[in-house]
Amino acid sequence: MNNQYDITDEILDQVSQIMEKLGQIYSYGQLESYPRLKQINKIKTICANLSLEDIEISPERVNEILNTNGDYDKKQYVLNLEEAFNNIDKLNPYDVNDIIKIHSIIMKNLSKNAGILRKNPLKLQNNDGFSQNCPPPNIIPELLNQLMDIIKNSPQILVRACVFQYVFEFIQPFDEGNHIVARFIQKIILSSWKPIFKYITTEDVLQDNKKTFNKILSQSLSNRDTNSFIEYMLGIINKAIDNLIKDARNHLTHSNQQVKALLNVIESYPQSSAQLMAKLNLKSRNGFRLNYIIPALEMNLIEMTLPDKPTSKNQMYYKK
């Protein structure tokens, strides 16, 4: 198993840019606490991950699946990915058992081998002529343990996350679902370092560059060229951070406009959600709470009559 790489000027430059941009993100405050941004980026992560597996679904449909009890096509895929997303903070990316666990979550009710390491030979081929004889199943546990040692000892965590994805793609430890698990574990590695990475959607950038990514991965594996893959993936992470910075600016502007609209209609005496929604001509109670009420509460501009029961049906709001 080849995992040798050099810290090239390109890698140093990408890492430097990423670190600088992370500082720029944190200048906007604790974005992790913004519910609308969190929800949007969760949906983007789910949609992009499914698209990378050639399963197309719209953000609107994902939102419906996550917020209603309807019987929708591809519902199991969405619910599994939401569960995986919600478990990011609870999983140890340096534990083989947790890697198996994330596979069992993602493939639950979709594969009879969910959470089971591959027991059969596997050969990968693509339309570009790439062919890969994956390691035999009897050595997969040993290779995964070696992978854990490799990434634990990688000094730079951004590089570590890229090395993990590269080696995992080489091992292909499961019968199916390896690509999506590799992406999720990379996200877990990075978010265990900087929590904001939970909401940095590298998958969205990969979706837009799917053919190039597949080509780079195939060539890197064929040539045992870890460096090329690391450099490419750092570029993807860099672009994903650019997107989050843009989203953060738009989110703050959007939130400020909606909070301003709410402040124009709320009074100093208590009013219900229904009364405030009628004044704003809004129909979605969930959207009203997510986009108007919660941001205004976070800014300490309004109060609840029942602060200990924030979702009570008798909850009312008033201007401070």
Domain assignment present for residue 276? The answer is yes
Give me the pLDDT at residue 286, please. Answer: 81
The pLDDT, as a whole number, for residue 245 is 86
**1 band by pLDDT with thresholds 50, 70 and 90:** low
The predicted-structure confidence for 19-67, as pLDDT tens digits, reads as follows: 999 888 776 655 655 667 788 889 999 999 999 999 999 999 998 999 8
- For position 257, what pLDDT does the model report? 82
Q: Look at the chain and report how many structural domains it folds into.
A: 2
pLDDT at 126: 73
77 and 181 housed in the same domain: yes
Backbone angles phi and psi of 123, in degrees to 5: -125, 130
Quickly list H helices, the chain: 9-26, 35-52, 59-67, 75-86, 96-106, 140-152, 157-171, 178-193, 202-208, 210-223, 226-265, 273-280, 285-288, 294-298
pLDDT of 204 reads 93
Residue 117: per-residue pLDDT: 97
Q: Identify the burial level of 273 via C-beta atoms within 10 angstroms of its C-beta, where 0-12 means exposed, 13-18 middle and 19 or more buried.
A: middle
Please indicate, yes or no, whether residues 218 and 289 belong to a single structural domain of this protein.
no
Do 197 and 79 have their domain in common? yes
Closest CA relative to residue 134, chosen from 109, 102, 91, 169: 169
172 with 298, same domain: the answer is no
The dihedral over CA atoms of 59, 61, 63, 69, expressed in degrees to the nearest 10, equals: -170
**Whether residues 276 and 221 fall in one domain:** no
> What are 121-175's pLDDT values in tens digits?
999 887 667 788 899 999 999 999 999 998 887 778 999 999 999 999 999 999 9
Mean of pLDDT values over 88-97 = 94
Query: For 273-306, what is each residue's pLDDT tens digit?
Result: 999 999 999 988 888 888 889 888 877 889 999 9
Asked whether residue 214 falls in the same domain as residue 311, the answer is no
Question: Ramachandran region of residue 177, left (φ > 0), alpha (ψ -120 to 50) or beta?
Answer: left
CA dihedral 160, 214, 96, 87 (to 10 degrees): 90
Tell me whether residue 64 is in a domain: yes
Tokens representing 263 are 């402040």
Residues 210 and 74 occupy one common structural domain? yes
Q: What is the pLDDT of residues 4-24, one digit of tens each?
A: 788 889 999 999 999 999 888
Q: Is 280 in the same domain as 141?
A: no
Q: What is the pLDDT of residue 70?
A: 80
User: What are φ and ψ of residue 236, in 5° steps?
Assistant: -65, -45
Same domain flag for 271 and 233: no
Q: Assess whether 167 and 217 both reside in one domain.
A: yes
- Nearest residue to 162 via CA among 192, 187, 132: 187
> Whose CA is closest to 231, among 161, 162, 157?
162
Mean pLDDT of the chain: 89
pLDDT (mean) for 64-87:
92
pTM, two decimal places: 0.79
Lowest mean pLDDT among 79-83, 174-178, 242-246: 242-246
pLDDT tens figures, 197-233: 998 999 999 999 999 999 999 999 888 899 999 999 9
User: Which CATH number covers residue 213?
Assistant: 1.10.3290.10
Q: Please give the pLDDT value at position 23.
A: 85
pLDDT at position 205: 95
Q: Provide the pLDDT for residue 34.
A: 66
State yes or no: pLDDT of 239 exceeds 90. yes
What domain range includes position 178? 31-240
pLDDT given at position 157: 93
Pairs from 279-283 (Cβ < 8 Å, separation ≥ 24): none
